[in-house]
Structures are given as structure tokens and as C-alpha cells.
């Protein structure tokens, strides 16, 4: 299968240590985090670029970007921004990347700039870490919940004119504590997520159905709230649950390997399909409880099969696991995380391995 060059992803860059020498960089950058032999001298950042794509022009593995910038763990957790018009320079003598402004003569600027804090507009003009059209729907949906977690939430108890299916613009009558909120997302508990190894249910994926807005709050405990359905993704009906609309997230992620070794498995492929490819969403059986956080990068492997040894019939032998791509984690729950598939050379299947970069 053709090796894809990813159409998007990650990084928001923090301050790099100005005192880094070439020897220090060489110690930090492993053979895996090495530069491409044909890496360009510079790249001018333009609108439409993604940080993962830019890093892929210089590095064998784009997720190594924070290392060649010399970002420490605090800087990774508090990333900053990179903007169109800036130039990424490959300082070959120091073995590192630098960020600067054009000099007019095409050379490396005398004043070398590093990624800096820029607060205006919360980075609205910054180069995106992950393309909104790929991950935005998944930042608030689907929702992974524990068993019975939605039982005490507000719920739809009736529809306008006794309808069974509620569509966009229809009224819905809701009962439950709104906790002062007026805008809600509508969910339905559905798919149990099972650990491919233990076969235990580790969570439930609540299907996102649409959005609803409060029109008139109940005036008594035995009265229903009146809502209007403002958007529909799937059919909404009696019994579906309402959760407050979450705040708009800031898309600013920096790729990094997990702090502790991770050996995860693909739990599901979003959409219920059997196989996935580039830029599709999958879930894994590891989350906050196992040290996964937003920005974690894992490598994808197909498990090697166990075969009979023709030279030793008594002792079968397992073939090595085969690496075929990367996974970037962008949403994390206690025991489950969602990731975007990156740079795959084969199809992704439920049960495949996702583990720490070696």
C-alpha cells in the first residue's frame, strides 16, 4: 500500500532553550528523531500549513518536533503558537530547527527568534495543530461514559404533537435539572466498548444525536422544560439524554511519547467499520489512568502470528510485530482514548497494537 504523507496534525510550539549547543542536541536527538537527508534549509509558513506537515519536511518522524526545538515537559504542557509569515530554518551546524522572520536575502536572520507566547485572539491566526474538519466533531462527541452515568441527566419525555422522531426545529419537552444551562447536546447510551484483551466492558460510547436550545424553563418541579432542536445528526426520540454544550476547545497540541511505557490495543473504529486508514478516528483501551494525555503519540503495529518452526516441530515461534503507522491521541477519558491515524502503510483493524515509540 502507498505510504501516505499525512494531511494534518499536531504541534503548538513552546520556548526553546537558547543555550543549546550542537553537542547537546546530538545527545537528545536519537536516530529515530533524526533529520531527513534531503531536508530543506528553510520553510516559509503559509496559511493552510499544518505543524505536522511542516515537521515532516525536516524530520524522519514528525512527532519528534518538540525534541529538536528543545522543549521541556512544562513547555509541552503549555504550548504556544506559530504563525503564517514566519520561517522555519534548519540550522545544520547546531543540528536543530529555529523560527525567525525573513531577512530579505534568504539567509538565516541575525536575530534568531524562538516560538513565543502570543495571546491575541487565542491563536486564531496560528497554524492549526490538528485540522478542525478532521477532529472538531470528536472533541465533544462521541462521549464515553461509565455505566449508568447518564441516568440522572435531563431527558426528553415528549415531542411536539406526539411525534416519535424529533427533527430540526421541532419542540421537545424535557425533564430534569438543567443546572442553569441553556444550550445542550443530545446523546443516547449505546455501544459498549470492550477491551480486546480482557473482553471486559471498559466504557460505553454515547452516540451524539444533535443539539437543542432551551426556549422556556419549567416553572415548577412537575412541569417540563420546552426545548427547540437546533441541529440533528441522527434521529432524536423520547428517552434521549441532554448534556450541557461544552466550551469550544483550543486546538493546540504538542506531540510527545507517553511518560511511561504503553501497550494498548485498538478497541473500535469510529463509524462501526471493520478497517480504517489515514485520518480516521479510532479508540484505544488506555486513558488517563494509564498515563495517556492529549498529544501522546503511539506507534501502530500488527501483531506477529505464531507459526510452526519447520526445523523444530515442538516449539512454535512468534513472528515480530510489524510497525505500519502512528496514532495521535487528541481526546482522553479514564480508560479509553481517541486518536487520529497518521502516516499508515496498511489498514488499521480492531485489536491492532498501539504502543510507545521505541
Asked if residue 296 and residue 208 are part of one domain, the reply reads no
- Note down the domain range covering 69: 22-134
Q: Do residues 39 and 102 share a domain?
A: yes
Query: Could you report the per-residue pLDDT of 179-198, keeping only the tens digit for each?
Result: 999 999 999 877 788 898 89
Residues 300-320 have pLDDT tens digits of 999 888 888 888 888 889 898
Q: Which of 95, 144, 115 is nearest to 45 (CA)?
A: 115
Is residue 236 located within the same domain as residue 151? yes
* pLDDT at site 1: 39
Same-domain status, 348 and 276:
yes
Name which residue leads in pLDDT, 17 or 80. 80
Least confident of 52-56, 97-101, 161-165: 97-101
> Which residues are CB-contacts of 288 (< 8 A; sequence separation ≥ 6)?
332, 333, 334, 335
Same domain (yes/no): 221, 268 = no
Of the residues 244, 278, 304, which one is the last residue of a structural domain? 244
> What is the average pLDDT value for the chain, to the nearest integer?
78
Structural domains counted in the chain: 3
Read off the pTM: 0.69
Q: Which residue has the higher pLDDT, 67 or 276?
A: 276
pLDDT at 338 over 70: yes
Q: Is the pLDDT reported for residue 115 higher than 50?
A: no
CA dist., res. 269 & res. 138, Å (int):
13
pLDDT given for residue 313 in this prediction: 80
Long-range pairs of 144-148 with CB within 8 A, sequence gap ≥ 24 = 144/193, 144/203, 144/204, 144/205, 144/206, 144/283, 144/333, 144/336, 145/189, 145/203, 145/204, 145/206, 146/203, 146/204, 146/334, 147/201, 147/204
255 falls within a domain: no
Instruction: Give which of 32, 109, 281, 249 is closest to 98, Cα–Cα.
Output: 109
Q: Indicate which CATH number applies to the domain containing 335.
A: 2.40.10.410
pLDDT confidence bin for 12, thresholds 50/70/90? very low
The predicted structure's pLDDT at residue 248: 62
Burial of 147 (0-12, 13-18, 19+ CB in 10 A): exposed
Confidence of residue 25 (pLDDT cuts 50, 70, 90): very low
Same domain, 236 and 324: no
How many Å apart are CA 272 and CA 267, to the nearest integer?
Answer: 11
Instruction: Judge contact between 282 and 341, C-beta under 8 A.
Output: yes
Least confident piece of the model among 67-71, 103-107, 159-163, 211-215: 103-107
* 27 shares its domain with 126: yes
Amino acid at each position: 500500500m502507498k505510504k501516505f504523507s499525512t494531511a494534518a496534525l499536531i504541534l503548538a510550539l513552546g520556548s526553546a532553550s537558547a543555550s543549546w549547543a550542537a553537542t547537546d542536541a546530538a545527545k537528545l536527538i536519537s536516530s529515530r528523531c533524526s533529520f531527513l537527508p534531503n531536508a530543506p534549509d528553510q520553510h516559509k509558513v503559509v496559511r493552510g500549513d499544518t505543524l505536522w506537515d511542516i515537521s515532516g519536511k525536516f524530520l524522519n518522524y514528525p512527532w519528534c518536533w518538540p525534541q529538536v526545538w528543545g522543549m521541556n515537559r512544562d513547555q509541552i504542557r503549555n504550548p504556544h503558537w506559530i504563525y503564517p509569515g514566519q520561517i522555519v530554518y534548519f540550522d545544520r551546524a547546531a543540528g536543530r530547527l529555529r523560527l525567525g522572520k525573513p531577512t530579505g536575502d534568504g539567509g538565516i536572520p541575525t536575530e534568531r527568534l524562538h516560538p513565543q507566547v502570543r495571546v491575541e485572539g487565542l491563536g486564531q491566526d496560528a497554524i492549526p495543530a490538528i485540522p478542525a474538519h478532521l477532529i472538531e466533531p470528536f472533541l465533544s462527541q462521541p462521549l464515553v461514559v461509565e455505566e449508568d452515568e447518564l441516568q440522572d441527566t435531563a431527558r426528553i419525555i415528549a415531542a411536539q404533537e406526539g411525534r416519535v422522531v424529533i427533527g430540526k426545529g421541532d419542540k421537545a419537552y424535557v425533564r430534569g435539572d438543567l443546572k442553569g444551562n441553556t444550550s445542550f447536546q443530545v446523546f443516547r447510551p449505546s455501544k459498549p466498548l470492550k477491551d480486546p484483551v480482557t473482553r471486559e466492558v471498559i466504557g460505553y460510547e454515547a452516540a451524539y444525536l444533535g443539539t437543542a436550545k432551551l426556549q422556556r424553563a419549567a416553572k415548577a418541579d412537575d412541569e417540563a422544560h420546552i426545548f427547540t432542536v437546533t441541529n440533528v445528526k441522527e434521529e432524536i426520540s423520547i428517552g434521549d439524554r441532554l448534556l450541557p454544550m461544552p466550551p469550544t476547545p483550543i486546538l493546540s497540541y504538542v506531540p510527545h511519547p507517553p511518560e511511561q511505557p504503553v501497550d494498548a490495543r485498538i478497541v473500535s473504529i469510529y463509524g462501526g467499520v471493520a478497517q480504517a486508514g489515514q485520518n480516521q478516528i479510532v479508540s484505544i483501551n488506555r486513558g488517563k489512568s494509564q498515563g495517556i494525555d492529549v498529544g501522546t503519540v503511539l506507534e501502530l503495529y500488527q501483531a506477529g502470528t505464531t507459526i510452526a518452526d519447520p526445523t523444530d516441530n515442538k516449539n512454535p515461534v512468534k513472528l515480530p510485530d510489524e510497525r505500519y503507522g502512528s496514532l495521535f491521541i487528541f481526546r482522553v477519558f479514564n480508560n479509553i482514548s481517541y486518536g487520529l491515524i497518521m502516516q499508515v502503510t496498511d489498514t488499521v483493524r480492531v485489536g491492532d497494537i498501539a504502543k510507545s515509540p521505541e
